Structure 1
Amino acid sequence: MSPLPAAIEATGLHVSRSRTKILRGLNFTVDAGRITGLLGPSGSGKTTLMRVIVGVQRVTRGTVTVLGRPAGSAPLRHDVGYVTQGASVYADLSVEANVRYFGAMHGATAADVAEAIAAVGLESLARQKAADLSGGQFSRVSLACALVAHPQLLVLDEPTVGLDPVLRAELWERFAAMAATGTTLLVSSHVMEEASHCSSLLLLRDGLLLAQLTPTELAQRGRSEDLERAFLTIIKTVEPSIDGAKRGQEESQVTS
């Protein structure tokens, strides 16, 4: 059986805003049908990278392909779902109406709407206004709106922020079930303990890709089963090379 083609491929990816470098020469591949974690502290470039992948961020240099097409290509609009940190739903509409509205853009059926709502565990609240839901439930409505189109790739920007431990565990169980049926998920987080739920990890720091590895490899390389400690060890190990890379890029920009 031949391997699935890569869901995302980035080559020499640079993104700058004005004179500020946000992403610095990223090269990586995201396998299809798996959960890939995009991990790093705040300000490391996670959201910018996700915006590039879904086609709403201008690239300064380099290339990104998504499902075999240039990121942002029109045909990808029905194949890529994007859940931002801020829930993108209408507070005055019911859960069902929100999902039905977003589903209409993709030709979704009533069965698709019901399936998306069930996937995030909100069947009993389908007729309730989004404004009346708890913060965690409100976030799950946004996820249902992305799921209704049955995307091949689902990009989630810190989907577990503000959720209690039980809700976080339930959400990761749902992500695992989706990956098992062939959906590719790219999930960002600054909570290192969530790395254990992923098949592969992209570790970002100051716009640079420190490593792409599995949770097991992270623990081994960082010499700790505590993945946060392991990540901090890697940062300390590569910090001099990060500073050197940043200086080299800045000097190159000045002389060019």
Structure 2
Amino acid sequence: MNADTPAIAIDCVQFRYGHLGPRRRDAPLVLKDISLSVSAGDILCLLGPSGCGKTTLVNLVMGVDVPTSGTVRVLSEVAPFRTARARIGFMPQDDALYEDITAEENLRFFAALYGVKGERLARRMDELFAFVRLEAHRKKLVHDYSGGMKRRLSLAVALVHEPSVLVLDEPTVGLDPEHRRYIWNHLEALAVQGCAIVVTTHVMDEAERCARIAMIREGRLIADAPPADILARTGTSTLEEAFLALEESEAVDTAAKPEASQPLGRKEPRHD
């Protein structure tokens, strides 16, 4: 992949559920003309209320779904990412772990799916259990883990193969402030090493740590800019206030002009 090519490129994407079925052709659009890109070394935060389309967008980036129109490319490959998938790490909103086996067996199983084995596997397991602070609990059944411990193990699973692209859906839900800060410090270090990271969160101080924020309202992108730029351009002091200001402005623009205005900070998509 060329150094100037984004790790993730989303171009004019629209999505409706069931769009391939004969009974759902009139299903409402969940995503409406979304264009975004994430370069190696960037952390992009997807921000918006529940039901706005964030998780749908995450599913498109993961290749779980394909867009109704437009394109999604990850590491220059269009879904279902047969080659790129091995370089993507994913932490879903709900922990996808096997509870009837140990944490160590979980990590070993998911590592095998990515071809991580031998000395590399032993090294990664030691590194990751130390990182997520579960060294003393690696042989414990996941069924006996707390919710916060499961979140930390899920993050270890997402990182086991040292991915080039990392997608995290509400990664710090259930974690205490100390663990949240510790994990974010590590994510920033991964970005410095060149990992492209997409994260969804409802925690505003976490959003402020991201290089860019993509604010989504009712399936539309209403802002795509660094946090400081969003605050400056809306004349607000918090991201909550900025979102409300942009939401109100978008509602007015949409009523006056149904096709809606260009979102704050957004560049025209590139058509190659």
Is 1:162 aligned with 2:174?
yes
TM-score by length of 1: 0.90
Does the aligned pair in 1 maintain the 2:88–2:166 contact within 8 Å? Answer: yes
Is 1:79 aligned with 2:91?
no
Distance in 2, matches of 1:168 and 1:149, equals: 22
Does the aligned pair in 2 maintain the 1:103–1:113 contact within 8 Å? Answer: no
Distance in 1, matches of 2:218 and 2:50, equals: 9
Does the aligned pair in 2 maintain the 1:208–1:242 contact within 8 Å? Answer: no
- Indicate which of 228, 235, 241 corresponds to 2:247: 235
Inter-CA distance 29–239: structure 2 relative to 1 (3 Å threshold): same
Aligned runs of 1:12-51 on 2, under 5 Å? 12-17=12-17, 18=24, 19-51=27-59
Inter-CA distance 3–79: structure 2 relative to 1 (3 Å threshold): closer
Does the aligned pair in 1 maintain the 2:151–2:174 contact within 8 Å? Answer: no
Distance in 2, matches of 1:168 and 1:45, equals: 24
> Pairwise CA RMSD of aligned residues?
1.8
Instruction: Report the equivalent of 1:253.
Output: none
SS of 1:56's partner is coil
Q: CA deviation at 1:193?
A: 2.9
Is 1:205 aligned with 2:205?
no
Distance in 2, matches of 1:139 and 1:219, equals: 31
Is 1:215 aligned with 2:227?
yes
Instruction: Report the equivalent of 1:57.
Output: 65
Instruction: Report the equivalent of 1:97.
Output: 105
- Indicate which of 74, 94, 98 corresponds to 1:66: 74
Inter-CA distance 23–217: structure 2 relative to 1 (3 Å threshold): same
Instruction: Report the equivalent of 1:182.
Output: 194
Distance in 2, matches of 1:121 and 1:176, equals: 18
Distance in 2, matches of 1:244 and 1:153, equals: 39
Q: Could you tell me which runs of 5 or more consecutive residues in structure 2 were left unpaired when the two chains were aligned.
A: 18-23, 261-272
Of all paired residues, the percent bearing the same amino acid is 37
Distance in 1, matches of 2:101 and 2:157, equals: 13
SS of 1:211's partner is strand
Q: Could you tell me which runs of 5 or more consecutive residues in structure 1 were left unpaired when the two chains were aligned.
A: 250-256
Deviating beyond 4 angstroms after TM superposition, the runs of 4 or more aligned structure 1 residues are none
Q: CA deviation at 1:244?
A: 5.6
Paired letter, 1:10: I
After superposition, give the CA deviation of every residue in 1:33-64 in whole Å (9 maximum; x if it has no partner). 12110111111100000000110013100011
Distance in 1, matches of 2:196 and 2:35, equals: 19
Q: CA deviation at 1:248?
A: 4.9
Count of residue correspondences: 247
Q: CA deviation at 1:243?
A: 4.6
After superposition, give the CA deviation of every residue in 1:208-249 in whole Å (9 maximum; x if it has no partner). 01111001111112212322112211211222224566x559
Does the aligned pair in 1 maintain the 2:151–2:173 contact within 8 Å? Answer: no
Which is richer in helix? 1
Is 1:123 aligned with 2:131?
no
Distance in 1, matches of 2:160 and 2:176, equals: 25
After superposition, give the CA deviation of every residue in 1:123-170 in whole Å (9 maximum; x if it has no partner). 222122212222111111111111111110010111122322222222
TM-score by length of 2: 0.85
